[in-house]
Amino acid sequence: MSRKRIDLNRLKQNLERIEVSSQSYGLIAKSPQPRFDQAYHLSAAVLTAFEPAQLKPFGLPQDAEPPSLDPLLADCTLRYDEQNRPYWMLKHSARTQALTQLQTRERLLDALALTEPRPDDRLQMIFEAYINGFAEPLEQQTLTDLRYTLQIREWLSGTELADQLPTLVDVRTRITWEELMQPFRYLVTDGFQGREAELAQLENHLVGDGDQVPLLVYGPGGVGKSTLMAEFILRQFDGRSSDDRASFTYIDFDQANIDPHEPLTILTEAVRQLASQHPALTGRDSEIVEEWTYELAAGSTRGAQTIFTEQKAVRNDYTGNVQVEGDGVIRNIQVEGDGVIGNIQVGDDSVESVIAGNTRIENVRARGSIVNLRPHINALGSLLQQAQVSDRPWLLVLDTFEEVQLRSRDAVSVIGSFLADLRDGIPQARIILAGRGEVFGLPVTSLQLGEFDEAAALAYLKAQQIQVESVARAIVQAIGGNPLSLKLAARVVVQEELQEDDAEPDALRELLRKVSEGNIQGQLYRRVLDHVSDEEVRRLAHPGLTLRRITPELIEKVLAGPCQINIQSTDDAQRLFDRLSREVSLVTPAGPNELRHRSDVRAVMITALHSDQPLVVHDIHKAAIAYYAARDDVESRAEEIYHRLFIETNLEEIDARWVPQWREQLDQSLRPALYELPPRVRAWLATKLQLTGIEGVDWNEAELTEWEGYAEKRVEDLVRSNSWDEALKILSERTERSIGSPLYLLETQILRQQTRWEEARRVAYDGIYSLKQAEDNIGLLDLLRQAIEIDLELKYVEQAELGLAQARELLAAQPQFNELVALQLNVFALKLTRQQQQASTDEIEAQRQLILEQFLSLSDQELLTHPLLIRDVLAEFASTHNQVLRRGLSLMLLGNPTPEQRAQLADSMQLWDQAISQTLEEAPGLLLRTISKSGPVNFDGGWQRYMQETPARVLNRDISSLLARYGEIQSTVEIEADDGDISFSVGDRGVAAVGSNIYETISTDNEF
């Protein structure tokens, strides 16, 4: 072989003439030859599912031996389809690795081409669309498709297609939007007809200038309120970019997380929804939601028992300058505004935000919601500014408002105050209420939703497959424009083929004549039922409406006899159940092997059914009671009570079946049935469910026990909104009380809070006598504790001692000893001992030691239910025991302290800071400097500013960190009040020395 010389210069010139694309370089760098043992992985990676026998290896030479499938199957998950056929799916990590190895579109398409036929599921279709490069834009994808896109985006993240795919942020943002829109799309699935005038009024309300009162959209159930709101929201907000649309929040009072008595739940949900509409809010929204959720959770932790100890006589309001004259009593102040008591003049001295000394406040009435929500409303307004939409309307829709009205009229008042504050704080807010009836007591503009007009009714019928205009007009003329009636009529006409060319016109006229003369919807439903071809299903369906749920076992054991159906075995019942489940116009699935009647059908027929077939219905109720009574789960108990309420006259027997621990679940199950029941049992159930706004019940004519239940809930609602006088007015509507009535305790607590000591004492001792008659030792112990506190306040020492002895006997007799009650009784005993001149120091110290041990042994959850007890223990021990100081501060910080509690915390923290600073030989303010994030601080007034300006969540974190760092240091410094200077003592009750006068904080009995 001859050797040739290589001209390097010429070789270089030839190489430069060769054009190599950048993709070729990438192919060389990123697409190594596949390993033979990975060949099946590469084929499976482009398939959402596969059968191993149909899979071909990718990239093997023609003469190569196929590798084993075992490594592939080890990286797969086995699944089964609806026909119980097995199929395999590559695990996420193995799929991502294989797709990265395939790398290019060309190789991905080659891998796809190896398998025919491929899966025909939606995920596979979208996967292939992205590989081919013709996937639909995100704006055109359904929510399901978007979720698939998110999955595919992760699969292809290591391929060259990654830069051509939507970003993860864009996909997730679009998913969040579609999740928000999905309920509205569902409501208009069948199309939307008519209501153009109503839509125009809604739009005018949204875009109109100036402050506007809420718009109320109301009408009976089934008239289409929710559908109208869905169409309006879709028209106004869907299909527009976030830069080109207003903002909205949709609240349904059926949502479990929305409490009309806690409007902060509405604001929290508003923040969540606004963040889903404006990605710029991501991060800030989570901070706010965390803060507010913390406040709500803390309030829930404190429990209902604190309702009378945490409410203030003055709250949420501003009085300006109040002059104290004569005997130093401020009387009958009408308070409104922002929650500050300004400069109260006593002699020549003034105290900012403090009323004290011998000065008392009597009969102060505050208006406002439970909590001052204005800071929260301001925070929401700041979010709108951050999203750069503060110049556009913000729509707040409050749907299913009848749930608020059902709960209580006081809940309506709370929402009214909240909405007034909201409109004042966020002027661009546009509020729409939607419910079944008019709302009284709120300023609203009303929009009553009636039947369709003729044009809308005709359009609706056309959407329901009524194509012949003359038939549609005849239907509208006969039965009107109620949407549900039109829907049932259309179904009958289609089923009976009454609009076909060969249809008999007289048949249509006869049908319409019959239904127009009676219960239109009931007649139409029976006609629909007549077209059920299965005779046994037809016999089962109509009286079977008596049951709210249907299972094969209920068919066999409850319905078969009354419905005259021959069921020989469980298999027979299952087969009949399966046949019934195919009648989608009658029933809907409610779970595995469970059906429920369609709500629209049941609403139409249930009342008439009790009249048409009373004996059959009675037999079904009896059989259902026997069936459910044998079971001990909450769902069975709810159904048992439901059926008992129709046929049993002795409510005491039904009351015995009520389980208080299941109240929440029973509420969810039984509340929808309220208006099916006769008025008498409706009142009983409303009392059990703590609903005071129910229609059709005259509470003053109700049985005494039902009225007491109603009054108890009304009073608690009124107290939560600071309506003390109104609460007492409710209690005075009926003076008689049942033996052992819970109203004695309630009235005593309210009178105590109002410092009407003698009246409270009379009610308490009346209740003690009644509870003894009822042999209710638990209730008696609660009321005795109230009476002891009242006697201590009035210095009735002998009566307090007698009450304490009785309370200790009752406590010792309890099946489970209550340590919290024991602690409270020991605190009472210490107070009584101190009032006795002959008490020895050793005796007092022994009592103090016992109290200290009990306090430290109790859980936070137990102590939080009695904040006054925490205050008493702090007053006794905080100056000498760091453990008590640490724990007391931690408990006081839980939740969102009121301005008064924050002021008291600031006083305690200032004292502790001064003592620690001097003990450690530091300048005053060591603790404040430790948590300061804004540089040097002024110790004078610094703690007051910090406490009033710091969010609750941050407050808790900062003080907890100080307790962890300095809480074990025992102060060696005693702080005293110098004449003329403001100073504080941990051991006293928030007393401040100002000049020569001594002032106490407002309502000290309501402070920690």
Residues 446 and 181 sit within 8 Å (Cβ to Cβ): no
Query: Which structure tokens are listed for 318?
Result: 């501003």
Chain centroid, CA 889 distance in Å: 29
For residue range 8-33, what is the model confidence (pLDDT) as tens digits? 455 445 444 444 333 333 333 344 44
Q: Residue 690: pLDDT band by 50, 70, 90 thresholds?
A: confident
Do strands 365-366 and 334-335 pair parallel, antiparallel, or not at all (unpaired)? parallel
Mean pLDDT to the nearest integer, 951-965: 78
Total Cβ atoms within 10 A of residue 159: 22
Predicted confidence at residue 963, as pLDDT, reads 79
| Confidence at 350, pLDDT banded by 50, 70, 90 | very low
* Residue 183 banded pLDDT, cuts 50, 70, 90: confident
Average pLDDT over residues 737-751: 91
The helix-helix angle for 454-463 and 483-495 (nearest 10°) equals 40
Task: For residue 308, name the pLDDT band (cuts at 50, 70, 90).
Answer: low
Q: Which residues of 685-716 are buried (b: 16+ CB within 10 A; e: fewer)?
A: bbbbbbbbbbeebebeebeeebbbbbbbbbbb
DSSP string, 678-719: -HHHHHHHHHHTT----TT--GGGS-HHHHHHHHHHHHHHHH
Percent of the chain with pLDDT strictly greater than 70: 79
- Tell me: pLDDT of 958 over 60: yes
Whether the bond between 220 and the residue before it is cis, its omega within 30 degrees of 0, is: no
Amino acid occupying residue 915: A
Q: Residue 710: which of 740, 677, 675, 746 has the closest Cα?
A: 746
Q: How is residue 660 written in tokens?
A: 């208080």
pLDDT in tens, 836-892: 767 788 888 898 899 989 888 888 778 877 777 887 887 777 667 777 877 777 776
Does the structure show a pLDDT above 90 at 653? no
The more confident residue out of 723 and 900 is 723
What is the CA angle 431-436-439, rounded to 5?
55
DSSP one-letter code for 307: G
Residue 538: the pLDDT is: 80
Q: What's the rounded mean pLDDT across residues 346-357? A: 32
Cα three-residue angle 1006-1007-1008, rounded to 5 degrees:
130
The two tokens of residue 41 are 């992985």
CA–CA dist 663, 139 (Å, integer):
44
| Between 878 and 377, the higher pLDDT residue | 377
> How big is the chain, counted in residues?
1008
Helix (H, G, I), strand (E, B) or coil at 553: helix
Partners of residue 448 on adjacent β-strands: 218
Q: Mean pLDDT check: name the lowest of 212-221, 319-328, 801-810, 900-909.
A: 319-328
Q: Is the pLDDT of residue 599 over 80?
A: no
Q: What is the C-alpha radius of gyration for the chain, rounded to an integer number of angstroms?
A: 37
Between 964 and 70, the higher pLDDT residue = 70
Contact 894, 909 (CB under 8 A): no
DSSP 550: B
Measured at the CA of 810, the angle between CA 806 and CA 811, to 5 degrees, comes to 115
pLDDT band at 768 (very low <50, low <70, confident <90, very high): very high
Q: Which of 108-117, 273-282, 772-781 has the lowest mean pLDDT?
A: 273-282
**pLDDT more than 90, % of the chain:** 24
Spatial separation of the C-alpha atoms in residues 531 and 510, rounded to whole Å: 17
The answer on pLDDT for 1006 being more than 60 is: no
Contact call for residues 700 and 733 (beta carbons, < 8 A): yes
pLDDT digits (tens, 9 = 90+) for 252-267: 988 878 888 889 999 9
How are beta strands 247-252 and 394-399 bridged, if at all? Answer: parallel
> Which residues are paired to 345 by β-bridges?
323, 350
The DSSP call for residue 722 is T
Average pLDDT over residues 750-777: 91
Contact 770, 740 (CB under 8 A): yes
Q: What is the mean pLDDT of residues 898-910?
A: 74
Averaged pLDDT score across all residues of the chain: 78
Least confident of 85-94, 322-331, 384-393: 322-331
- Are 760 and 790 in contact by the 8 Å Cβ rule? The answer is yes
pLDDT greater than 70 at residue 93 = yes
Tell me the two tokens of residue 878. Answer: 């905080």
Among 275, 268, 92, 265, residue whose Cα is nearest residue 179 = 275
Give which of 802, 850, 846 is closest to 824, Cα–Cα.
850
The model's pLDDT over 424-480, given as tens digits with 9 standing for 90+, comes to 999 889 999 998 888 887 889 999 888 888 888 888 888 888 888 888 888 888 877
Residue (of 90, 394, 108, 347) closest to 248 by Cα position: 394
d(CA 997, CA 347): 9
The arithmetic mean of pLDDT across residues 372-380, rounded, is: 86
pLDDT score at 523: 60
DSSP SS3 for 327: coil
**Taking CA 343 as the corner, what is the angle to CA 338 and CA 347, rounded to the nearest 5 degrees?**
155
